[in-house]
């Protein structure tokens, strides 16, 4: 059989999306053709952040095995790494299984398998690994590009499996980040999004995140620089100085909260309390116009009684987030939280999720009304059904008709009709 058509399925975070885009470029450069319907090589970039992520990863692998019996299946990423570390690799019906290293060698492993027809499994201890370099040249799109600058996490929040499957902190070298961003900008990309497992911990031998931001915002022709997600305690004075002084750094930050109860934050092993979080947000709003803050919140954490949940709701109203990504707590084997008592009932977790999602919709609506009648700069990313669709710098999604061009930025008057909610 001649293997020449590939397909990549990606679950989980923006880091996975970046890695999948890099893998896509490896296949194309080697002459393989992308085919989303009838590929003979399938790469599944898996996620393990929740039990549902594990289940989705398995379901995709199993459905491909069922529907494409003769295809080669390659499972990579966090679920694969976790399955290896917990002795559950037999759950993964794939021909090649890689964890969170050697993704850049995927073609070598594929060609080895094609030649020898012998199953391949490669895993490493990620505690002291160096950063695995990936470089995207950005030929496919010219609007927004992600650049992975960092991998690994050492926060060890009590609920989180990610430090165990992604390993210790490691960063892309300063020169390679600047080279990649410059290359993308020179090829017409207007917006760059910095991403990582723990993005704000970026450090290349003492050259830290603030240093990197200072250098990136000075790249000619870079219109927008966005941070995909950052922890509140990584927004130090030096980072915020660049944030306040640079028009290139957009007024939108995703800052995980996880809980609005100090007792729950302590149980979660988060590194801040409510006062620290709120004071920092208030300060940022004083130095950056039109600031939009989005967040993540986990509901139903072990020991979270009703009064703590209500405290969380009140705090979220006080902060006035733009929107909230809501997650019901999910036990991850091997984490501290999985061994805690006072687990919250599943039905109760669903009720709290629904209540918080309704609050998120209210906050989103309130945020949008602040911009009705205002003129905002919108970067158009696509044309669909006669509409030009794009985002403001603070990430309001907009659609308009008219004489515009994709990949360009225009002044648009915002109103209730042209906001995509």
Sheet containing 33-34: which strands, arranged edge to edge?
33-34, 5-10, 41-46, 72-77, 96-98, 120-122
Q: How confident is the model at residue 134 (pLDDT cuts 50, 70, 90)?
A: confident
Mean pLDDT of 293-322: 98
Of 77-91, 122-136, 158-172, minimum mean pLDDT range: 122-136
How many CA atoms lie less than 13 Å away from 387 in the CB half-sphere? 11
- The pLDDT score that the predictor gives to residue 131 is 87
Q: What is the pLDDT of residues 231-270, one digit of tens each?
A: 999 999 999 999 999 999 999 999 999 999 999 999 999 9
Which strand (E) or helix (H) includes residue 407? none
- The pLDDT score that the predictor gives to residue 135 is 84
Mean pLDDT of 65-79: 94
- The pLDDT score that the predictor gives to residue 140 is 62
Q: What is the pLDDT of residues 390-409, one digit of tens each?
A: 999 999 999 999 999 999 99
Mean pLDDT of the chain: 94
Kindly tell me the burial class for residue 296, based on how many C-beta atoms sit within 10 Å of its own C-beta (0-12, 13-18, 19 or more): middle
- pLDDT for 143 beyond 90: no
> Are the C-beta atoms of 45 and 72 separated by less than 8 Å?
no
Q: How confident is the model at residue 138 (pLDDT cuts 50, 70, 90)?
A: low
- The pLDDT score that the predictor gives to residue 19 is 94
- pLDDT for 117 beyond 90: no
Mean pLDDT of 221-228: 95
- pLDDT for 136 beyond 90: no
State pTM to two decimals. 0.92
- pLDDT for 146 beyond 80: yes
- The pLDDT score that the predictor gives to residue 278 is 98
Of 32-36, 232-236, 255-259, 350-354, minimum mean pLDDT range: 32-36
Mean pLDDT of 170-176: 97
- The pLDDT score that the predictor gives to residue 142 is 76
Distance CA(130)–CA(132), nearest Å, equals 6
Structure tokens at 367: 């945020």
* Residues contacting 213, CB < 8 A, separation 6+: 225, 239, 242, 243, 246, 249
Q: How confident is the model at residue 139 (pLDDT cuts 50, 70, 90)?
A: low
In the numeric block, the tokens 């990136």 are attached to: 216
């Amino acid at each position: 059989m001649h293997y020449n058509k590939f397909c990549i399925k990606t679950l989980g975070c923006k880091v996975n999306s970046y890695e999948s885009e890099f893998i896509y470029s490896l296949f194309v450069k080697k002459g393989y053709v992308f085919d989303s319907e009838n590929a003979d090589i399938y790469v599944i970039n898996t996620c393990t952040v929740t039990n549902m992520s594990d289940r989705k990863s398995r379901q995709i692998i199993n459905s491909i095995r069922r529907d494409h019996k003769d295809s080669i299946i390659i499972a990579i990423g966090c679920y694969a790494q976790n399955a290896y570390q917990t002795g559950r690799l037999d759950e993964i019906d794939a021909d090649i299984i890689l964890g969170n290293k050697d993704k850049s060698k995927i073609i070598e492993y594929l060609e080895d398998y094609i030649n020898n027809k012998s199953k391949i499994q490669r895993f490493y201890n990620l505690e002291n690994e160096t950063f695995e370099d990936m470089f995207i040249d950005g030929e496919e799109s010219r609007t927004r590009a992600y650049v992975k600058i960092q991998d690994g996490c050492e926060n060890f929040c009590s609920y989180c499996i990610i430090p165990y499957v992604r390993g210790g902190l490691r960063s892309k070298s300063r020169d390679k980040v600047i080279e990649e961003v410059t290359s993308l900008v020179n090829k017409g990309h207007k917006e760059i999004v910095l991403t990582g497992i723990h993005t704000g911990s970026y450090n290349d031998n003492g050259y830290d995140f603030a240093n990197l931001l200072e250098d990136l915002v000075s790249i000619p022709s870079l219109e927008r620089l966005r941070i995909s997600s950052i922890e509140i305690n990584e927004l130090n004075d030096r980072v915020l100085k660049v944030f306040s002084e640079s028009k290139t750094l957009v007024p939108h930050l995703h800052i995980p909260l996880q809980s609005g109860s100090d007792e729950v934050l302590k149980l979660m092993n988060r590194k801040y309390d409510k006062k620290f979080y709120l004071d920092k947000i208030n300060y940022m709003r004083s130095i950056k116009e039109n600031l939009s803050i989005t967040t993540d919140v986990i509901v139903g954490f072990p020991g979270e009684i009703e009064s703590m949940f209500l405290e969380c709701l009140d705090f979220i109203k006080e902060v006035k987030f733009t929107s909230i990504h809501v997650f019901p707590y999910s036990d991850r084997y091997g984490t501290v939280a999985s061994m805690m008592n006072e687990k919250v009932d599943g039905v109760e977790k669903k009720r709290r999720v629904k209540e918080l999602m309704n609050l998120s919709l209210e906050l989103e609506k309130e945020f949008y009304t602040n911009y009705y009648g205002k003129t905002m700069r919108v970067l158009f990313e696509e044309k669909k059904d006669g509409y030009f669709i794009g985002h403001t710098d603070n990430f309001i999604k907009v659609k308009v008709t008219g004489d515009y061009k994709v990949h360009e930025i225009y002044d648009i008057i915002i109103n209730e009709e042209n906001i995509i909610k």
